[in-house]
Structure 1
Amino acid sequence: MLAGLLAALGAGLLWGLVFVVPLMLGDYPGIVLAFGRYIAFGVLALGLVWMDRAALARLTRADWVEAGKLALVGNLVYYTTLASAIQLAGAPVPTLMIGTLPVVIAICANIAERRAGNAADVVAWRRLALPLVVILAGLAVVQLDPSAHAADAAGQGGESAHGGLRYALGLLLAAVAVASWTWYPIRNGRWLRARGPGLARPWATAQGLVTLPLALAAAVGFALWQGIAAPAEAFDWPFGPRPLAFVGLMLLVGLAASWLGTLLWNRASHLLPPALAGQLIVFETLAALLYAFLWYGRWPGLGEAAGIVLLVAGVLLGVRVFRPAASGS
């Protein structure tokens, strides 16, 4: 339990970097940052193959197909739809929808394990309800506090997102992002628990390897489409207006957030019940808040602080709920 919690905490701290990098590269489209992150992840995975060559050689064709599905849905589809949703609908509402992931994943994981007959990983809804409600309340308090979005409004010149079809499409894409990253940790954890221990790092490397061609193909396709549809507004390929900053930060998030974060999350998924692991994605939200406060150079407001306390309390309650099941496995 302790090793799994520490691994989930480490993954959350690393994944939180992804939320501050767009602030540092505000002149880059979000979809380009997604391509850059996962191309860097794939290139770094190529350099790490030698360490895991024996384990990778034992993966079957079905395993590689599974890695491809996880990479496509959990990496490219998730971050592309999230970036596009924020561009179309503004940041607050899509961010609130993504913030419900710990609750959505925990509920879906508990349903899946119940249907699969895995009694050891299932808890009664009455025991799971309290930590889920507390986490959801904390996320709502943070996201609905006006001070939490002051910087976002300032970055948009004080203008809110436009209504109509554009806004509705943004909400639809945010819903796709939620669905993508609800599916990913449940499916990924199921694959890991079906194998023996010691595959966290090789499985992270395998996902990086299959992500590289997918990200390259998606980037080329987007560049061609942009060149045809809007050549005057096309991105300055391949590295944009600040090449050194872009390449450096993409390598940072590719190594820290994508590869090492995935490695730690794989470790946590192997050690913890799936519904508990789903709740611990809240660490990513907490890390993102911490980095944002450091970037903006301010302390959290009263509502933000209250929300953070609720988030931490919900995680601690979740640990207590699952401790008997974990100790007996």
Structure 2
Amino acid sequence: MPIISERKKVLNIYKDAAEKGWVIPCLCTENLTTTEAILSAASEFARDNHLERVPVTLAITVQYEHRSQSRNYTHSRNWETGLKLFRADAEVLMRKGGDYENVDLLLHLDHVQHDLDAELCESDLSAFSTIMYDASNLPLEENIAKTKAFVEKKGQEIMIEGACDEIVDAGGEAHNDITTADKCADYMKRTGVDMVVANLGTEHRASGKDLKYHGEAARAIKELIGPKIVLHGTSSVSNEQVCKLFDDGVCKVNIWTALERDASPKLLEFLVHNASKAAGPGMVEELRQEGYLTEKCATGEKESLTAFTTVARQDVIFQVMKKMVREYLDMWYVL
């Protein structure tokens, strides 16, 4: 099915998901391999469970200073080029007669900055399904005023997610307080956003699953605004902590760090196990002499297309990411 971008249809996707008790995963990408791994996992989930179709969200940041995925989508590091490539990849993969016709694809613009992305915010957003308008680095009253103005201007065009608190980066000195229900409800009422990002204890770009998700805070928010909470920073906590998110009022979960972080060790394992075929006996011997590899890697095998090509490396990443996305779908799409 084509990409779903019309606001009314997007709202219906979320309404249908809520009726099923589903939490829609919003998976960020900065390359084609990740993009297709997400679509492939969703398509497989639909087939395996005899479903006509399932929704999934592909997301990308634009000029977000912490991680501009649009810039990373192209080696020119031009965010406009990267954003166009992101859309083009999605459109080709979702074309009629393509490989993923059983997926209802939503395209999300994540962490769109009120200042750095001002040009984008003024542009035609009709090709996208949802947007996170991010003014969370401003004092709360300024955040509310900016977000309200954006909703008034673009709210009839696109489904809007706002952030009443900034979700901090792991490893930094800042640690935000858990968002209170009253604060979240007041923010939503005054801005008119469709969904709200709340700080529930998670952090962006965490290197380990060592934080605590505060479900009790989410449930308190749910009592006031309903199931309209968006959770960011999910990679910083274990799946066991977030397996019942819909019951807590969460309707959408943003994920990226875990996909990249957990795929990297598998790529390293593949390259070490196939060291000679990936780099040649000479390089293996050099690294062995330097103490980085052991005798076990010195197989004497010649370089092989099965190990040294970009395709070989990308396939390792693709398979790991696809498996992870499938696990998220199995967890949040309860049948």
Q: TM-score, normalised by structure 1?
A: 0.24
Q: TM-score, normalised by structure 2?
A: 0.23
Computing the radius of gyration from Cα coordinates, the structure with the larger value is 2
